[in-house]
Amino acid sequence: DGFAYDDGTPARLSETHFVMTTTTANAVTVFRNMEFARQCLWPDLDVHLISTTDGWAQFAVAGPNSRALLSKVVDDLDLSNDGFPFMACAECTVFGGTPARLFRISFSGELAYEIAVPARFGDAMIRALMQVGEEFDVVPYGTEALGVMRIEKGHAAGNELNGQTTGEMLGLGGMVSPKKDAFGTRLSQRDEMSREDGLRLVGFRPVERSVILTAGAHFLTPGDLADMAHDQGWMTSVAWSPELSHSVGLGFLKNGGKRMGETVRAYSPVRDQDVMVEVCSPHHIDPEGERQRG
């Protein structure tokens, strides 16, 4: 129907072989919807779907030294920027013959990869990665750290994908073709979905840098009453940015793409907070993507 509800990654391993990752929360929903499409929408297609979640152990390796670390792990694969560019994927081997899959994707905004091995090698793989990475001061990082980095980078995730989010709202309207039938085409042609003051994903930072932003706050034009008639949108995600040394946020704002630099109120009656925030790009750090593409 054109609504975004998950942020997984499809990868093409061969002419007729694809692998798709999903978030943990939506794995069942994604698989169910794909099965519905296969059985009911396109029953004539020769397609088979197999859940392989339990068959693979997959690890994200991120940071400026991730390429150097993986070069010591992956066998006979050119990991240079030209040989294995951003969004590349390949089947390969590690540590002298163990089968693996390598994906150059980043959910942190940094130079990053994901390496997958059969599940029975998972424990040995993570131990080997930590051992090989000692010279690069490698450390494990969890979902809290990843959550901060994805907000800094402007990656939409669960808080933004609430079942009512369209490609246009995420800044991806250009990927929905108006010339052919595609996911989201019919939806994007509805008047309410193409209005000039539609909600758009943008970034926010407090005018007073010491202020801690609050998720769930609603946006208002300065001077307007705090009621539904004047509601301009809401803050979806916030984090303290260690790199910028102040709070940053993501949210949906009416006509947000054309309001860069504008100051609006972020009002949260539940937490009794009323602060001024500046509208900015959702890409708080490395807006040109030089890190993840370098």
| Residue 118 in this model has a pLDDT that exceeds 80 | yes
Question: Which segments within the chain are labelled E, that is strand?
Answer: 3-4, 9-14, 17-21, 56-62, 74-75, 89-94, 98-103, 112-118, 165-166, 199-206, 218-220, 233-241, 246-254, 263-268, 273-280
199-239 pLDDT per residue, tens:
999 999 999 999 999 999 999 999 999 999 999 999 999 99
DSSP state of 193: G
Q: What angle do CA 266, 267, 272 make, to 5 degrees?
A: 135
144-203 pLDDT per residue, tens:
999 999 999 999 998 999 888 888 899 887 777 778 777 777 777 777 777 778 999 999
Q: Helix, strand or coil for residue 21?
A: strand
Identify the structural domains of the chain with CATH numbers, from first to last.
Answer: 3-149 (3.30.1360.120), 150-280 (3.30.1360.120)
Predicted model pTM: 0.90
30-89 pLDDT per residue, tens:
999 999 999 999 999 999 999 999 999 999 999 999 999 999 999 999 999 999 999 999
